[in-house]
């Protein structure tokens, strides 16, 4: 921001020194962020890799082959995809509809409904009360029990409402004067104008759902429906890989590293396209609820 | 403002029929959201009543036993240890991540070179998108005593390898380091955008008055973003006690004493040992503490900035 000219002339020296320190510090920070992942990548392609080695001496994709041939990974992966895509769609539908209704300040009961939503941000039943309630409602091993609590949250609803409120109200008035029904206004005016907000909130939901671990270990006891995170955790913890690795003459570390890299890489490809959306979404979140 | 008031004054009281006619569609839109929240958030709140019963999977009848569960809970050492750990870990974690984020945002704000700034931002946001399971797996390998990178450096410098994640003195520092590593960049986003809104004229005025860089940060920048800091801080207060994921995935039996927090304690008591009454009581206790935190935070915010957040 303070883009003073960079120079070593007298009077600018302290400023220049400060800038150099800042650049060096931030460069080190970038390295710190990247190095753990880079190190795992090196370990995953080089079976002879030692602790301090930061460049692969030999290169082999054998570990990746082993993992991709290991069919026990497929189902958890598909469950994760299913819950993430399904959850994002369901979550967005419920949240946008609710947020749009909450925006109607003159609707009788508006305050009460807003309260009902906001209270869930502050209070919850706690882990066991929630677990027992879901169990008694027959929600165990039901994907809805993991999808809905993660995807439909008060925070995302308020975020969406803040965005709707930032749109010019005249648009909505004009539409309703022209005889557009509330649903018509919602689908023809509000949604098309909220693509950036839909992307941000959708991204938050998708990330939360993809990364969810706790809800799955609590409410899904059927191994058929465990998600990818639970599977990775099991793989890293139990030495299930040891059996495979002994056949293939690959170290367990190499396989573990390759597994983690495989989890991270797909995200890295979509990440650059998403960046502008989450910056927008999180800024929106600072608007008072 | 005035027009709105007038409008309300002259509006005749709405009959139920008219109200449904006018707002029926909006009520329909609300139904899925409210249904979700009622089933998945409010029903469990009713479930808190299990804390006052002897509910157990082994016998079917449910007896009201008053505060017995709480008495048992408060008498157990494990709970108080977990409670103490929760307070310490969550407070230090929140402070470190908050300061880290603000510091990072201030530094980023100094960078004039756009591509370097973008690059830094891109890199520091990445870890946030990884789940705690993945992050814990990464660091378990990096910190491994045999072939881990950190221990290799220590060995090369002539030190003895340390099994960091199973060492009582080292477990917490590493939890903090990993938390800061994961969340600092993400936390900084909001401050970066708040800093972009700081009035440049104030900076110029301060410079003319002879304020140096540090003074300007303290007297111009920080007051300008204090509102944002407060909002974020209080929103985080509401969830700092939710430590399940980070602690659960990094915890092991060697470090249970320093690492056990209420949520992991509750999980072990409730899910693993089926002691539903006591663990629900522990969860309720946690919720109460967390509500106190939020209310206190809000009060402090009212004192400092003159307005509450909630």
Full set of structural domains in chain B with CATH: 76-305 (1.10.3720.10)
pLDDT of residue A48: 75
Residues A34 and A151 in one domain: no
Residues A79 and A222 in one domain: yes
Which of B19, B55, B200 shows the shortest C-beta gap to A108? B19
Query: Model confidence over B218-251: pLDDT tens digits?
Result: 888 888 888 888 888 887 887 788 889 999 999 9
Contact yes or no for A286 and B291 at CB 8 A: no
Structural domain contains residue A149: yes
Structural domain contains residue A258: no
Residues A55 and A105 in one domain: no
Task: Give the integer Cα–Cα distance in Å for B143 and B165.
Answer: 7
**CATH code of the domain covering residue A172:** 1.10.3720.10
Structural domain contains residue A142: yes
Residue among A128, A209, A235, A240 with most chain B CBs within 10 A, to mutate: A128
Query: Model confidence over A123-171: pLDDT tens digits?
Result: 888 899 999 999 999 999 999 999 999 999 998 998 899 889 888 888 8
pLDDT of residue B34: 95
Please provide the average confidence, as pLDDT, over all residues in chain B: 86
What is the mean pLDDT of the segment spanning A76-104?
A: 94
Q: Which of A199, A228, A257 delimits the end of a domain?
A: A228
Nearest Cα neighbor of B187 from B242, B105, B119 is: B105
Q: How far B280 CA sits from the closest chain A CA (Å)?
A: 5
Q: Which residue has the higher pLDDT, A202 or B238?
A: A202
Residues A175 and A47 in one domain: no
Contact yes or no for B33 and A130 at CB 8 A: no
Domains in chain A: how many in total? Answer: 2
Is a pLDDT exceeding 80 seen at residue B196? yes
- The DSSP 8-state label assigned to residue A51 in this structure reads T
Structural domain contains residue A18: yes
Structural domain contains residue A172: yes
Residues A81 and A183 in one domain: yes
Contact yes or no for A283 and B189 at CB 8 A: yes
Q: Which residue has the higher pLDDT, A15 or B271?
A: B271
How far apart, in Å, do the first and last CA atoms of chain B sit?
22
- The DSSP 8-state label assigned to residue A6 in this structure reads P
pLDDT of residue B212: 80
Residue among B16, B31, B83, B137 with most chain A CBs within 10 A, to mutate: B137
In this structure, are residues A87 and A143 in contact, taking their beta carbons and an 8 Å threshold? Answer: no
Taking each helix axis from N to C end, the angle separating A228-237 and A240-248, rounded to the nearest 10 degrees, works out to 70
Structural domain contains residue A216: yes
Contact yes or no for A1 and B109 at CB 8 A: yes
pLDDT tier at B263 (50, 70, 90 boundaries)?
Answer: very high
Task: Give the integer Cα–Cα distance in Å for B47 and A130.
Answer: 7
pLDDT tier at A250 (50, 70, 90 boundaries)?
Answer: low
Task: Give the integer Cα–Cα distance in Å for A220 and A145.
Answer: 9
- Whole-prediction pTM value? 0.88
pLDDT of residue A268: 81
Residues A15 and A156 in one domain: no
pLDDT of residue B2: 46
Residues A6 and A101 in one domain: no
**ipTM, two decimals:** 0.87
Q: How far B112 CA sits from the closest chain A CA (Å)?
A: 5
pLDDT tier at B84 (50, 70, 90 boundaries)?
Answer: very high
Residues A15 and A110 in one domain: no
Task: Give the integer Cα–Cα distance in Å for B190 and B130.
Answer: 19
Query: Model confidence over A236-249: pLDDT tens digits?
Result: 876 555 555 555 55
Task: Give the integer Cα–Cα distance in Å for A28 and A37.
Answer: 15
Q: How far B169 CA sits from the closest chain A CA (Å)?
A: 22
Percentage, residues of chain A above pLDDT 90:
37
Query: Model confidence over A223-232: pLDDT tens digits?
Result: 899 998 998 8
For the ranges A170-179, B24-33, B203-212, which has the lowest average pLDDT? B203-212
Residues of chain B found within 8 Å of residue A133, distances taken between Cβ atoms: 43-44, 46-47
Structural domain contains residue A235: no
Structural domain contains residue A214: yes
Residues A83 and A214 in one domain: yes
Task: Give the integer Cα–Cα distance in Å for B136 and B144.
Answer: 12
Is a pLDDT exceeding 80 seen at residue B7? no
Please report the number of interchain residue pairs, chain A to chain B, with beta-carbon separation below 8 angstroms.
277
Residues A35 and A90 in one domain: no
- Phi-psi sector, B119: left (phi>0), alpha (psi -120 to 50), beta: alpha
pLDDT tier at A100 (50, 70, 90 boundaries)?
Answer: very high
Please provide the average confidence, as pLDDT, over all residues in chain A: 84
Q: Which runs of consecutive H residues, i.e. helices, occur in A123-153?
A: 127-136, 143-151
Residues A83 and A208 in one domain: yes
Q: Which runs of consecutive H residues, i.e. helices, occur in B63-197?
A: 68-75, 77-110, 114-125, 132-142, 149-156, 171-196
For the ranges A11-20, A214-223, B185-194, which has the lowest average pLDDT? A11-20
In this structure, are residues B137 and A260 in contact, taking their beta carbons and an 8 Å threshold? Answer: yes
Domain interval for residue A216: 72-228
What is the mean pLDDT of the segment spanning B121-127?
A: 90
Which of B37, B48, B134 shows the shortest C-beta gap to A264? B134
Query: Model confidence over A162-199: pLDDT tens digits?
Result: 889 888 888 888 888 888 888 999 999 899 998 888 98
Residues A94 and A167 in one domain: yes
Contact yes or no for B32 and A19 at CB 8 A: no
């Amino acid at each position: 921001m303070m883009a003073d000219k960079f120079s070593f002339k007298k009077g600018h020296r302290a400023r220049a020194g400060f800038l150099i320190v800042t650049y060096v510090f931030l460069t080190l920070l970038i390295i710190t962020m990247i190095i753990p992942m880079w190190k795992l990548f090196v370990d995953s392609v080089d079976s002879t890799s030692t602790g301090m080695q930061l460049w692969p001496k030999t290169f082999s994709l054998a570990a990746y082959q082993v993992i991709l041939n290991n069919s026990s990974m497929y189902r958890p992966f598909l469950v994760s995809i299913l819950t993430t895509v399904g959850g994002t769609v369901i979550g967005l539908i419920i949240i946008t509809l609710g947020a749009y209704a909450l925006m109607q300040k003159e609707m009788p009961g508006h305050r009460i409904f807003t309260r009902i939503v906001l209270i869930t941000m502050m209070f919850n039943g706690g882990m066991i009360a929630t677990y027992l309630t879901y169990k008694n409602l027959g929600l165990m091993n039901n994907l809805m029990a993991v999808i809905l609590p993660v995807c439909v949250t008060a925070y995302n609803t308020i975020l969406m409402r803040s965005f709707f409120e930032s749109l010019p109200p005249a648009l909505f008035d004009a539409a309703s004067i022209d005889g557009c029904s509330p649903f018509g206004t919602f689908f023809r005016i509000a949604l098309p104008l909220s693509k950036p907000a839909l992307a941000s909130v959708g991204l938050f939901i998708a990330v939360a759902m993809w990364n969810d671990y706790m809800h799955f270990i609590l409410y899904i006891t059927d191994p058929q429906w465990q998600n990818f995170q639970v599977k990775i955790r099991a793989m890293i913890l139990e030495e299930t890989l040891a059996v495979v690795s002994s056949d293939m003459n690959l170290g367990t570390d190499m396989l573990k590293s390759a597994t983690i890299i495989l989890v991270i890489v797909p995200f890295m490809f979509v990440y650059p396209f998403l960046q502008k959306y989450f910056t927008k979404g999180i800024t929106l979140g600072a608007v008072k609820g | 403002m005035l027009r709105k008031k007038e409008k309300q004054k002259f509006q005749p009281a709405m009959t139920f029929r008219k109200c449904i006619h006018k707002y029926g569609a909006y009520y329909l839109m609300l139904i899925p959201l409210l249904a979700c929240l009622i089933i998945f958030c409010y029903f469990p709140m009713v479930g808190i009543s299990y804390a006052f019963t002897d509910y157990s999977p082994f016998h079917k009848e449910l007896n009201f036993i008053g505060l017995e569960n709480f008495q048992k809970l408060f008498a157990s050492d494990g709970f108080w240890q977990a409670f103490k750990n929760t307070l310490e870990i969550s407070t230090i974690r929140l402070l470190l991540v908050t300061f880290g984020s603000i510091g990072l945002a201030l530094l980023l704000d100094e960078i004039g070179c756009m591509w370097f700034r973008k690059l830094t931002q891109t890199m520091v946001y990445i870890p946030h998108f990884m789940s705690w399971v993945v992050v814990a797996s990464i660091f378990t390998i990096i910190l491994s005593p045999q072939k881990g990178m950190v221990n290799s450096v220590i060995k090369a410098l002539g030190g003895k390898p340390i099994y960091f994640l199973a060492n009582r003195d080292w477990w917490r520092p590493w939890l903090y380091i990993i938390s800061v590593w994961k969340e600092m960049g993400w936390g900084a986003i909001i401050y970066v955008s708040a800093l972009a809104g700081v009035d440049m004229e104030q900076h110029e005025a301060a410079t003319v008055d002879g304020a140096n860089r540090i003074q300007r940060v303290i007297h111009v920048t920080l007051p300008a973003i204090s509102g944002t800091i407060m909002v974020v801080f209080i929103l985080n207060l509401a969830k700092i006690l939710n430590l399940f994921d980070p602690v659960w995935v990094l915890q092991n039996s060697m470090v249970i004493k320093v690492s056990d927090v209420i949520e992991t304690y509750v999980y072990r008591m409730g899910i693993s040992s089926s002691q539903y009454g006591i663990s629900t009581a522990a969860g309720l206790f946690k919720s109460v503490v967390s509500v106190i935190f939020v209310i206190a935070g809000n009060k402090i915010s009212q004192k400092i900035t003159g307005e509450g957040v909630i």
